[in-house]
Amino acid sequence: MKPSLIVPLILPLAVAQTQVQSVAQAERIDVFPVQTHHRSRVQASIWDSSSPESPLHPSSSSSNSTHSDGPPVGYTGLKAVRKKILTARKRTDRSTLFDQASIADWEPTDEWRDGYSRKDIEWEEVEVIGPDVSDLDTVVNLARMANDAYALPGDARWAELERFNLTVPFGWEDGGMRGHVFADETNSTVIVSFKGTTIDSGRGKSTARLDRLNDNKLFSCCCGGLSKEQCGCEKRGVLPGKKRTCLSMCVRTGLYDSESYYPEAIKLYLSLLSLYPSAQFWLTGHSLGGSLASLLGLTFGLPTVTFEAVPDRLSVQRLGLPVPADRRFNPVTHVWHTGDVIATGNCRGPFSVCGRAGYSIDSVCHQGNLIIYRTVEKWGWPLDRTTRSHTIQYAIDNVYSKPWNQGETDDRKGRERDWTDVPVAEGEDESCEDCTGWTYI
């Protein structure tokens, strides 16, 4: 199963990631202006906010400009910030953990499969340009890109408005990992969007079987234990007094087989990187696609914004991926609302809507930065025990696009927040635990 991505996007790339020297805090620097007129083509190059020609500084004669600290009315886009992240390197030779030279023939080494312990690695601080997740338009437009991973241009659910200069689909000829690659007109920024779980994939070969297989291997306590175990890694009666025991290395090895999405995502990224070695890559996705983007982003230190992702900490630990102790240096940001039964980790057990459909979604805890829309606590929503509020289009229309902090006081600045604010990023509850009824050996 190989991603169907062979064609180059547009032109050779120009902008590379830079090594960090010292940046005290995230600094807003760039905007991708994206026209919202119906079927308009995109002027999507990165603009320097210090330039007088930048949409951040429209001329006083501009008829469609109403304020000086944002793009002209009639435009919406993706704002970016410089931020520091930590990337893991091998302590022995300072090489990156994932700098495989071969692309098409890449296979996980024993070292990769075994994972890396803290004694094997050291952290390097680097500076990247990533999405400004405090900006409403940026969050909504990335969510629309995540939505587009489910469709092809011309389909009813395709979000026509926020396209970059060119999109390239991948996986639409296969029944597996699927999505789109978006690029600006200079290919200096490339955004990869991964599709989540679908029962009926619509156009293209159905992905339903492999979606469910990957859900169960990534997010169950031991490869799915409802109607059928996926990997044969559970051992019963090994330890007295423990109801269920799972072989950790068996589960991890199963995540690299020919039907697993994680190694295919790595191959896709390495293929894109070989074509465009100077690009700044961003990742996004919804549900399973968001969790897959998170794993890839953490693997390579790529700015990642996910939407209603399945809680991913269990799969991160299962793969042995190094995670920065301070979440502020983590490249991954998860966006979700508390009415979503899947993103909140409440779709567990055989009688849940997930269990009845054959999905063992046992994971509860997220890793990284969390932007949580507390729709249950603030808006009085019930926890939706169906998957209706989990869908990306529902979240865009009813959550992400709505005013959130209107009328509230920003304690940090002592003033009222602007209505376009999104919730402030936070970390996972320290008391959160996955699979407490299991023992791993």
Q: Rounded distance, CA 237 to CA 235, Å?
A: 7
63 tagged catalytic:
no
287, 315, 360, 389: the active-site residue: 287
> Left if phi > 0, otherwise alpha if psi is -120 to 50, otherwise beta: which for 224?
left
C-alpha R_g of the chain: 21
Q: What positions carry a catalytic annotation?
A: 287
